[in-house]
Amino acid sequence: MNTTILLFLVQDGITNGAIYALLGLALVLVFAVTRVILIPQGEFVTYGALTYATLSAGQVPGTAQLAAVMGIVAFGLDLYLARKSLHAKRILRAFAVNIAFPFAILALTYALAGRHNTIPVNTALSLLIVAAIGLFLYRIAFQPIAHTSVLVLLIASVGCHLAMQGFGLVFFGAEGLRGPAVSNAALTIGPLSFSGQSLAVYGITVAFIVGLWLFFDYTLYGKALRATAVNRLGARLVGIRTSLSGQLAFLLASLIGAISGILIVPITTLYYDTGFLIGLKGFIAAIIGGLISYPITAVAALGVGLVEAFSSFYASNFKEVIVFTLIIPVLVLRSLAAPEVEEEQD
């Protein structure tokens, strides 16, 4: 192996690793705040990517309609919950979030579809659509069972993954799609040439990590999210609505997923079920981080990307096998450092 190949593999690994890092961070965030192991994180990637690709092809993506339908269901749930104390203010708020918001997006999508929109417009629209889906997903599937065990939440999470993957097939078909690159610029440093796309991947990953750090450490809402993660009862006792924290966490996770998807789809063809595998690689990083640590998760994600890049060079047939069985040594290490297992209360 010569240096060029080595550098190329490292570069490839870091590009993929950066995506896994984004996803891993989102998984840690969601788990910390809601205890949900977010299996459908991968679907956010797929939805973001394919919504963007569909919009770029001038069509209306089914995800926009899905967001609207989910909004209606969420509104119904809110109304049912508030049936005993129907304040106008509360209903108005629920209407704004659950009905006005997704239908505005839907209207915007229809209004803009078919034209040759710029890439930023399509990106923004895709992000809005997927963020709405993420928000409503928490409201519908997880908020009613937020107090139950991790296992129950996990089963619901798997259900969401199944349904969303199935809808993905309906919306985008079994054929893969590609989208236009965010940037066509290129940069050459010595033997390495960086495409604008991979530079965008690095830039956005770093921006997100810094942004999340600033958000969590310096804003009241960021602190409230952390507080929810540290002590749910304590958070409720100071008046933090843990359901809002959960929605916020899902909103962030779906945004991160969608951004990752939009970053990848110009590089590789994405299918309706590709996101699942990509999300799971983020999971491997998140598990290495114990589903707690953001920095370890980010570093581990780069490691996963590198292992993948090198194994695709040395044993391309067994690339996935190697990446996924990485979990075994990781679990061995975690097991050695295992704390007491707590008793389950349900």
Partner 1 sequence: MSAPLLAVSDVHISYGKVEAVRSVSLDVSANQIVTIIGANGAGKTTLLNAIMGILPLKGRVTFGGEDMTSFDIEDRVAAGLSLVPEHRELFGTMNVEDNLQLGAFRIAKATAAQSFERVYTLFPRLKERRKQLAGTLSGGEQQMLAMGRALMGAPKLLMLDEPSLGLAPIIVSDIFRTVGELRAAGVSVLLVEQNAQAALKIADHAYVMELGEFVLDGPAAEIATNQQVVASYLGFQHA
Partner 2 sequence: MSQRLSILVFALVMAALPLIPEMPPFWIVLLDNIGLSALVAMGLVLLTGVGGLTSFGQAAFCGFGAYTTAVLTTQYGLSPWLSLPASLVVSGVAAVILGVVTVRLSGHYLPLGTLAWGIGLYYLFSKLEFLGRNDGITQIPPLQIGHFKMLDAGTIYYAIWFAVIVSAILTLNLLDSRTGRGIRALRRGHVAAEAFGVKTARAKLLVFVYAAVLAGLSGWLYAHFQRAATPTPFGAQADIEYLFVAVVGGAGYVWGGVLGAAIVVILKEVLQGYLPLIFGGQGQLEIIVFGIMLVALVQFAPSGVWPWLTGLLPLKSRLRRPDTSIALSAPVRAAPPPGPLLRIDNARKQFGGVTAVNNVSFEVGAREILALIGPNGAGKSTTFNLITGVLKATSGTVSFAGQPIIDAPPQAITQLGISRTFQHVKLVPDMTVLENVAIGAHLRGRSGAIASMLRLDRADEARLLAEATRQIERVGLGDQIDQLAGSLSLGQQRIVEIARALCVNPMLLLLDEPAAGLRHMEKQRLATLLRQLRDGGMSVLLVEHDMGFVMDLADRIVVLDFGTRIAEGTPEAIKTNPDVIKAYLGAVA
Chain positions contacting partner 2, by CB under 8 A: 37, 140-141, 144-145, 148-152, 154-156, 158-167, 169-170, 173-174, 276-277, 280, 283-284, 287, 291, 317-318, 320-328, 331-332, 334-335, 338-339, 341-346
In the set 8, 148, 215, 223, which binds partner 1 (CB under 8 A)?
Answer: 223
Question: CB 187: neighbour CB atoms within 10 A?
Answer: 11
3-state SS, residue 38: coil
Smallest distance, partner 1 to C-beta of residue 223, A = 6
**Does residue 79 touch partner 1 according to CB under 8 A?**
no
Task: Report what 163 binds from partner 1, partner 2, none; CB cut-off 5-8 Å by kind.
Answer: partner 2
**Does residue 226 touch partner 1 according to CB under 8 A?**
yes
**Does residue 224 touch partner 1 according to CB under 8 A?**
yes
Smallest distance, partner 1 to C-beta of residue 217, A = 9
DSSP H or E run through 188: strand 186-189
Smallest distance, partner 2 to C-beta of residue 98, A = 18
Can you read off the two tokens belonging to residue 321? 């096998």
Smallest distance, partner 1 to C-beta of residue 84, A = 5
Maximum Cα–Cα distance for the chain, whole Å? 71
Cα–Cα nearest to 149, from 43, 245, 35, 275: 35
- The residue written with tokens 């066509």 in the block is 184
Beta pairing partners, 177: 270
Q: Which is nearer to partner 1, 203 or 222 (CB)?
A: 222
Q: Please tell me the total number of residues recorded for the chain in this structure.
A: 346
Smallest distance, partner 1 to C-beta of residue 240, A = 5
Smallest distance, partner 2 to C-beta of residue 137, A = 10
Can you read off the two tokens belonging to residue 80? 């049912």
**Does residue 219 touch partner 1 according to CB under 8 A?**
no
Smallest distance, partner 1 to C-beta of residue 145, A = 16
**Does residue 339 touch partner 1 according to CB under 8 A?**
no
Task: Report what 236 binds from partner 2, partner 1, none; CB cut-off 5-8 Å by kind.
Answer: partner 1
Asked if 219 and 246 touch (Cβ cutoff 8 Å), the reply is no
Q: Say which residues have a Cβ less than 8 Å from residue 213's Cβ, sequence separation at least 6.
A: none
In angstroms, the first-to-last Cα distance of the chain is 56
Q: Which is nearer to partner 1, 84 or 115 (CB)?
A: 84
3-state SS, residue 270: strand
Task: Report what 7 binds from partner 2, partner 1, none; CB cut-off 5-8 Å by kind.
Answer: none
Query: What letter would DSSP give residue 97?
Result: I
Query: 114: alpha, beta or left, given left = phi > 0 and alpha = psi -120 to 50?
Result: left
Q: Which is nearer to partner 2, 266 or 282 (CB)?
A: 282
Query: What letter would DSSP give residue 194?
Result: E
Residue 303 half-sphere exposure, CB side, CA atoms within 13 Å? 19
Angle subtended at Cα 154 by Cα 285 and Cα 275, rounded to the nearest 5 degrees: 50
Q: Which is nearer to partner 2, 188 or 345 (CB)?
A: 345
**Does residue 238 touch partner 1 according to CB under 8 A?**
yes
Task: Report what 174 binds from partner 2, partner 1, none; CB cut-off 5-8 Å by kind.
Answer: partner 2
Binding site for partner 1 (CB under 8 A): 84-85, 220, 223-224, 226-227, 230-231, 233-241
